Amino acid sequence: MIETPSLVDQYCHGVLRTELGLGTFEARLARTEGPPAPGTTLFDTQTGFAVRRWCPPLLGLEPHCPPARYLARRRELGVREAGRRLLRGSGITTYLVDTGLSGDLTGPVEMAGAGDADAHEIVRLEPLAEQVADTSGTVESFLANLAESVHGAASHAVAFSSVAGSRHGLALAPEPPGPGEVRGAASRWLTDRRAGGELTDPVLLRHLLWSAVASGVPLQLHAGLGEPGRRVDRADPVLLTDFVRATAGLGTDLVLLHGYPYHRQAAHLAGVFPHVYADAGAVLLRTGAGAATVLAEILELAPFGKILFSSGAHGLPELHVVGARLFREALGRVLGTWVADGAWSLTDAQRVAGMIAAGNARRVYGLDRAAG
């Protein structure tokens, strides 16, 4: 048996602090534009079935029990206690938490406490810029404050993340924009913008990416399905190839999140470029019983030292559980089959499992250093 005793979740969000009913819980199981179609429910998805498989036992119920029964038990325990039991049952020992989403979500400190785990912050670039814009009066002050904010974040965050792919698409000009270009774009954006307005300008998105690259802190880029975007093919990670080439040798690692359905392309980039890493977790949450297939596809081209687990969970601690359990089981099944076939040695399989589950993330994000 392939064991992964410790998991570093290299990308997730916090959990909701509020009690959820059946409908509000269901709405968190998928990312949709609109309510479920008449006659359908989001519980009838891979994610829904995976939640019903893995989570009821952690709250003292039988696997696959009906959603209403599960939700009743969850409310009986209360959101805090249920969350505590779920997170502690996930097998995750370190959470890297992207704090850039709105909503009443727990932060890294609460995640660490509830999950009896370590936790570190990931700073999302676009909301950072939007917050700076909300409080800056002029283009000059915006750009100066932004530089300071990125610099400040770099000193405490373990990574930056970017959703440029869903905001604009990944077909961005690969080189850093010039100072005049940035000033012009900032001026237009600040003029047109109302407080809270989203950053979608490609010049400013590139400016953010390059500011992050300059910091030396690993940069996580959403690709493929990661964030609901305008069109999924516009987030195909191959569109990043020239940006990747432009950032080679600068000392900053790039981590391609999600990737699916272009995860083979993400794995290819991780194989070609020394500073590129591929996520092999977040999508498993969505593909459920099909997780082993997707994981095996990532393992085709990506070097084993370049693959990182994440849950990609957001809002429900059930999703942290499911992301972690699906990953562990899929990894055990895929590597175990290869060992049984004689393709891999058991020693190698065990070593690679540890790398993907935790070791690679510890190295890339400097967690042994950060935790010290």
Q: Which residues ranging from 209 to 228 are in contact with a copy of itself (CB under 8 A)? A: 225, 228
- Name the one residue in this structure whose structure tokens are 């998805």: 45
**Span 120-149, contacts to a copy of itself by CB under 8 A:** none
Q: Alpha-carbon distance 157 to 350, whole Å?
A: 30
- Closest approach, Cβ 343 to a copy of itself, in A, equals 4
Is residue 345 near a copy of itself by the rule CB under 8 A?
yes
Here's the x/- map for a copy of itself, 52-71, by CB under 8 A: it reads as: xx---------xx-------
Here's the x/- map for a copy of itself, 294-323, by CB under 8 A: it reads as: x-xx-xxx-xxxx-----------------
Stretch that binds a copy of itself, among 125-133, 162-170, 212-220, 239-247 (CB under 8 A): 239-247
Residue 153 vs 322, nearer CB to a copy of itself: 322
Peptide bond into 261 cis (omega under 30): yes
Helices marked H in 193-281: 202-215, 241-246, 263-272
| 107 Cβ contact list (under 8 Å, min separation 6) | 14, 97, 99, 121
Is residue 271 near a copy of itself by the rule CB under 8 A?
yes
- Closest approach, Cβ 269 to a copy of itself, in A, equals 9
For residue 136, give the nearest of 182, 99, 186 by alpha carbon.
186
Q: Alpha-carbon distance 129 to 142, whole Å?
A: 9
Query: Residues 22, 51: contact at Cβ < 8 Å?
Result: no
- Closest approach, Cβ 74 to a copy of itself, in A, equals 19
Size of the site for a copy of itself (CB under 8 A): 74
In 172-233, the DSSP E strands lie at 219-223
Is residue 77 near a copy of itself by the rule CB under 8 A?
no
- Closest approach, Cβ 316 to a copy of itself, in A, equals 17
| Single-letter amino acid, residue 310 | S
- Closest approach, Cβ 335 to a copy of itself, in A, equals 9
For residue 256, give the nearest of 229, 233, 223, 225 by alpha carbon.
223
Here's the x/- map for a copy of itself, 352-371, by CB under 8 A: it reads as: x--x-------x--------
- Closest approach, Cβ 303 to a copy of itself, in A, equals 5
For residue 111, give the nearest of 98, 101, 123, 100 by alpha carbon.
98
